[in-house]
Structure 1
Amino acid sequence: MRLVKPKRKSAAENVLPLINVVFLLLIFFMLAGALEKADMLNIDPPETLATELPDDTTAILLVDEQGALSFRDEIVGRDQIVARLTAWFAEHPDGRLKLKADAKSDAAEVIALIEELRAVGLKELGLLATGAS
């Protein structure tokens, strides 16, 4: 009886399954990281030096660079926002609102919007910003 010695695998053949597994893990984490819910408008918030995180909120108002508004995942016109917020505050008297404005948006427009929100009866407004690098 003659026994055949098994061929010895080269180093490349031993590493190939490991490379396949690492590649599949890379694809998995790329997809898993991309499944985050995106904002309705493309917003680049200003930077802040504050270190504490804002409290949880029930509603976020987005303002993009051109001044377009998004409230509760809907694009809202400037003339409709007061009515929407009045109805929302009637349903949520203790509700809190946060404003997320683009860093390149006109500051005077944002301040005018905040004044309109104050007329609705807004008691507290959080302004969202990113941390300074």
Structure 2
Amino acid sequence: MIRRGKHRSLARAAGPVDDDARIMPLINVVFLLLVFFMVAGQLAASDPFEVEPSASAAAPEAEREGAEVLMGAGGRLALDGRETAEAALLADLAERMAAAPEMPLRLRADGQVPASDLVAMMRRLQSAGAADITLIMRPRKP
């Protein structure tokens, strides 16, 4: 037969419970959540190079499905987040357009790209089969 008094004396013999030890699991959980969100924040895909679109007075259009072409100021090009040469971009786009002719295409060009280069690229994209090209611009600040 075990006495209750004996169990109590064993608990006291182990020493007083440290208040810091009680909050350690909470600190561990908060730290793990912090690490999780830091890692999860890095998983978002970023563009291969920075593009600052021109300003537009029109209302912003909602994002649509389809492909996106980035056009950098130095003539750099990317298709759906992959930097590529112009010939490869047009060939890949022509393949996609042959498979899905109604696929919309978004063109996001840097504000420093000359308008003549932008129009020439839009013509080349049309010749690759893109019928629906949307030029992405940032809203003009009032």
Same fold (TM over 0.5): yes
Contact 1:61 1:69 in 2 (8 A): yes
Q: Does 1:13 align with 2:14?
A: no
| Higher Cα radius of gyration | 2
What SS does the corresponding residue of 1:44 show, helix, strand or coil?
coil
Structure 1 position 116, deviation (Å): 2.9
Corresponding residue for residue 111 of structure 1: 119
Shifted more, 14-23 versus 81-90: the winner is 81-90
Contact 1:43 1:62 in 2 (8 A): no
Corresponding residue for residue 59 of structure 2: 50
Classify 1:107/1:35 alpha carbon distance in 2 versus 1 (closer, same or farther; 3 Å).
Answer: same
- What is the rounded CA distance, in whole Å, between the counterparts of 1:103 and 1:95 in structure 2? 25
- What is the rounded CA distance, in whole Å, between the counterparts of 1:130 and 1:18 in structure 2? 43
Higher relative contact order (CA 8 A, sep 6+): 1
**Backbone CA RMSD of aligned residues:** 3.2
> In the TM superposition, what are the counterparts of 1:17-96 in structure 2 within 5 Å?
17-39=25-47, 41-46=48-53, 50-57=59-66, 59-71=67-79, 73=82, 75-77=84-86, 79=87, 81-96=89-104
Residue 20 of structure 1 aligns to which amino acid in structure 2?
N
What SS does the corresponding residue of 1:113 show, helix, strand or coil?
helix
Q: How many residues align?
A: 129
Unmatched segments (≥5 aa) in structure 2:
none
Unmatched segments (≥5 aa) in structure 1:
none
Classify 1:15/1:99 alpha carbon distance in 2 versus 1 (closer, same or farther; 3 Å).
Answer: same
